[in-house]
Amino acid sequence: MIDLLARNPSLSPEELTAGLTPNARFKNVRFDNYRPNPDFSSQAEARASLQAFLQGAQVRPGGFRLFRKTRSEGRGLYLDGGFGVGKTHLLASTYHAAQGVRALMSFQDLMYIIGSLGMVRAVEAFRGHQLLLIDEFELDDPGNTHMANTFLGQLMPAGTSVVATSNTEPGALGQGRFNASDFQRQIQGIASRFETHRVDGPDYRQRGTAPEGPLLPAEWAVWQARQDRATLALTSHRDLNRHLLDVHPSRFAKMLAGVGAVGIHDLAPMSDQNVALRFVHFIDKLYDLGLPAAMTGAPLNTLFDETYRHGAYAKKYSRCLSRISELLREAMAG
The full DSSP string for 156-221 is GGGT-EEEEEEEPPHHHHTTT--SHHHHHHHTTTTGGGEEEEEE----GGGTTSPPP-PPPHHHHH
Residue 198 has a pLDDT of 86
CA distance 7 to 22: 24
Q: Which amino acid is at 264?
A: I
pLDDT in tens, 277-334: 999 999 999 998 889 999 999 999 999 988 776 666 777 888 899 899 999 999 998 7
pLDDT per position in the chain (334 positions), as tens?
A: 899 999 988 877 778 788 899 988 898 999 999 999 999 999 999 999 999 998 876 544 333 344 444 568 899 998 988 777 889 999 999 999 998 999 999 888 899 889 888 999 999 999 999 999 999 887 666 778 788 889 999 999 999 999 999 875 444 433 444 455 666 666 666 777 888 888 888 766 555 455 679 999 999 999 999 999 999 999 999 999 999 999 988 889 899 999 999 999 999 999 999 999 999 999 999 998 889 999 999 999 999 988 776 666 777 888 899 899 999 999 998 7
Residue 202: partners with Cβ closer than 8 Å, 6 or more residues away: 37, 82, 84, 85
Residue 179 has a pLDDT of 57
CA distance 89 to 29: 6
Looking at 187-313, list the stretches that DSSP marks H as alpha helix, in order from N- to C-terminal side. Answer: 217-226, 237-244, 252-255, 273-289, 306-309
Residue 60 has a pLDDT of 42
Residue 186 has a pLDDT of 63
CB 58 within 8 A of CB 163: no
Sign of CA dihedral 37, 39, 40, 45: positive
Residue 13 has a pLDDT of 72
CB 155 within 8 A of CB 132: yes
Closest by CA to 167, choosing from 47, 284, 257, 84, is: 84
35 to each of 52, 94, 165, 287, 301, how far by Cα in Å?
Answer: 18, 15, 18, 20, 29
CB 43 within 8 A of CB 36: yes
Q: Which amino acid is at 98?
A: A
Inter-axis angle of helices 273-289 and 237-244, to 10 degrees?
100
